[in-house]
Structure formats: structure tokens, C-alpha cells
Amino acid sequence: MTLIKSISGIRGTIGGNVGDNLTPIDAVKYAAAYGTWVKQQRDKTDYKVVVGRDARISGKMIQDLVMNTLVGMGIHVVDIGLSTTPTVEVAVPMEHADGGIILTASHNPKQWNALKLLNANGEFLDGVEGAKILEIAESNTVTFSDIDNLGKITKNKAYIDLHIIEVLDLPLVTVNPIEEARFKVVVDGVNSTGGWAIPLLLERLGVEVIKLYCEPNGHFPHNPEPLKEHLTELSKKVVEERADFGIVVDPDVDRLAFVDENGEMFGEEYTLVACADYVLSKTPGNTVSNMSSTRALRDVTEKYGGTYQASAVGEVNVVKLMKQNKVVIGGEGNGGIIYPQAHYGRDALVGVALFLSLLAERKTSVSELRNTYPNYFMSKKKIELTPELDVDAILETIESRYKDEQLTTIDGVKIDFPENWVHLRKSNTEPIIRIYTEAKSQSEADALADKFIAEISDIAEPDN
């Protein structure tokens, strides 16, 4: 099994050996390192950290370990319990807290969990901050508090409602037109907290909700990554119910994908494209997404006179470039909407509200809306890493082979060909190499991905 220690958090599989997996001892170790880092940020007497989790089976165990570690360090904890990643991000500044921890492994299967770490703004730590926490964890310099200075745990279960209120108060979220449209929507909550939060938001908007796997018990009914091959039941249910469309989120509700009224995928890459289309039509400006995201966002941005730029993969990298460029909307092509008017974090609740506002304004079906956007097709494949695979050497070889093409190397290797592109990179969250391609047809995108998988195999095993 696996423990991945990176600047984006601590992610691993439950059980097994200490240091090789996310065991209770590892959870305590990294929570204590984070608590130490929080105390280093400012000199004060009272520290506060918000902690929430998705519904995965190991969540309560890991949350109890994390919270009581912080208590042992004299840090007060606001326990918001079952929640979403964007809700914890919203709660941190509301609580005037010093940071936040979300217990979630996002789209990973049920055997995984993770500590996602936030700063006092409710935003993910940057590379320098994340590296510091890893350094503290290995230094054995953590100090715990004496009996008279322990922290306390306060429960607050109101934050899903408070988050929804903030979404409804956004100027571009048109509550009355959405109510008048009388939408009917199927929601696949993958038996995590999205099955609670998304229907609550929709009901507040007057949307009729058909629930599919919306019991937050952590027993994921299918692979929780919101990809086409995992959503056959949602597609079938949308057609059976004659719904306007379907919604699916990942377990911590920072990724969002849609199924149209015919049961066809809208395309998770196009979640951001559609939301950006709506926002840019009201507030023209610039956009940012990561290097593995569709070119369609660039096309839509330029249609409204704005400029598009791509960052390295990772929410913190997207946010950093968004702030530098003062963009009006950005995110990631995996269905992650970052709308600065709300907060600097991927937020499926914000995405749902903006998408509904767009549909209510244009009075169009989801399939018709999709047909208004440039038609690109993506292939997302991966290669499992083995100890003998030298990823850096492989990418250097690819870079050398394609040195005459348009290359970007800030995050792996991206090769922009005139009609398509390929992006090869080592994942921050799984022991894999990701191979993303985009082209004018699905067959071309798949063929390009297969071509580079074959090249990587030849480089790794030249004698085979």
C-alpha cells in the first residue's frame, strides 16, 4: 500500500505498516507537524484550527486522532464534522481561525484518506509551507502542552448551511430565474457529503431533486472519480426520470461534472468552460486553468476579449496564477471551479449555482449548451509506477526527442502540437504517471495517448 508525503498534504491507504501507509501513528505525526507550523506563523496565546471530513469509512477515526493531537498541543479545534472541502475553506476565515484540516482523499477509492492542510485564509498551503511541515514531521521537534494549557474541541454543524447562504448571496447567482425554470435534476453524491450538501443547495433554489447514492455512509457505490465510465447509473437515471440533467461530485465536493438530458456526459472539462462563459459574459476578464485542461477555456476567454494562461497542475498553483493575473474565474479541467468572488478554492456548490444561472438565462437544454462550445476531446490515461521506473529520466528523454516542438516543462512535459497536445507528469496524489491528451476527435486523442504510453515503455525497457 502507499503513503504519499507531498506539499499538497499527506495521503495514504489505511492500515499496514507505520511510515508505509496512513496509520494512526502517521496521522498523529503529521497533525503534530501542522500544529507546530501553525504556532510558528504568529505569536499568540490562543490558536484555532477548523477540522472537517468527507464521509469515507476511516474519516471519524482519522479526525479524532488529528483533533486530539491538536488539543494536546494547546490548539482549540472547531469540529464541523461531515462537511466538504470548500465548506472547510469557507469556515476558516469565518472562524478567524489559524488554519484548517480536511480529512479526505478526494477522488481516491475508499481505502485511501488524507490530511489536506489550509492556511489562515482557508487556502491550500504553498510549496514552501508544505515543505516546512514535512521537515518538521521528520525533525522530532514537536512540543506538547501541559495539563493546564490543553486545547478544547467545539462542535459547529452549521457550516454547510452557512456555505449555501454565501453561494446564494453571490451577485451572479440568479435565484428567482432558477426557481422559475423549475429544473429537475438527478444527483449522484457517491454516498459522501455531496449527497447532503448538493441537494440542500438545489432545494433552496427551487430545483426538484432525484437522489442517487446520497447517503453519506462512505460506501462508494462506484469508483468515486467523476468520469464517464463510472457514471452509467446516473446517465440511465437521468433518462428514466426525464430530468433536465444530472450532477455528480467527488467525495469531498470540490469536483463537479454534468450529464445532459440524454444521459450523455457534458464533459468534466466543460464544467469550467460553461461557468466561465457565464461569468465572462457578465464580468469580462482573464482566466487561468492548469496545463492539463482543455483549450476550450482559452477559446471562450478570447471570445470575450480576455487572456488565458495555464499554470502547473495543482490547486495552489492555479490560485497563485489567478491572483497574479487578477482573473475573474479559473480552476481545473477536472471539474474544479474557482470563483474569487466566493473564495480561492475549488467549489462544486458554486459551480452548480453558476451553471443553473446560465441555463436559466439562456433557456436552453444542457445538450444544446454543450454544442455552443469548441469541440475538443480528451484522453486521460496513466501508468502505474514501479520502484525501478526513473520518471525524471523518462521525461528528460521525451523532452529531448521533441525539442523542436512547443514545449512547457514547469510541470512534467507538455508538448503543444498544432492540432493537439500531450501532457506527461508524475501525479502529486497517486503513484502514477498521468498521460493527458487533447485533440479534435476522441480516436485521435486516444491514439496520441497510446503512442506516448508506448514511447514511455520503450524508454523504460529498451530491450523489450
Residues labelled catalytic: 106
| Sheet with 153-155, side-by-side order of all strands | 3-6, 9-13, 112-118, 99-103, 47-53, 75-82, 153-155
SS3 191: coil
Q: What are phi and psi of 374, to 5 degrees?
A: -55, 140
Q: How far apart are CA 22 and CA 11, in angstroms?
A: 7
Q: Phi/psi zone of residue 267: left (φ > 0), alpha (ψ -120 to 50 degrees), beta?
A: left
8 Å CB contact between 260 and 370: yes
Closest CA to 351 of 248, 260, 438, 262: 248
8 Å CB contact between 225 and 219: no
8 Å CB contact between 187 and 247: yes
Could you give the angle at the alpha carbon of 192 between the alpha carbons of 94 and 61, nearest 5°? 80
Q: How far apart are CA 347 and CA 331, in angstroms?
A: 9
Q: How far apart are CA 420 and CA 294, in angstroms?
A: 10
SS3 23: coil
8 Å CB contact between 255 and 348: yes
Q: How far apart are CA 54 and CA 81, in angstroms?
A: 8
* Pairing outcome for strands 256-259 and 245-249: antiparallel
8 Å CB contact between 275 and 358: yes
Q: Which H, E and C letters describe 241-299, residue by residue?
A: CCCCEEEEECCCCCCEEEECCCCCECCHHHHHHHHHHHHHHHCCCCEEEECCCCCHHHH
Q: Which long-range contacts (CB under 8 A, 24 or more apart) does 367-372 make?
A: 367/260, 367/261, 367/262, 367/264, 369/274, 370/260, 370/266, 370/267, 370/270
The distance in angstroms from the start CA to the end CA of the chain is 28
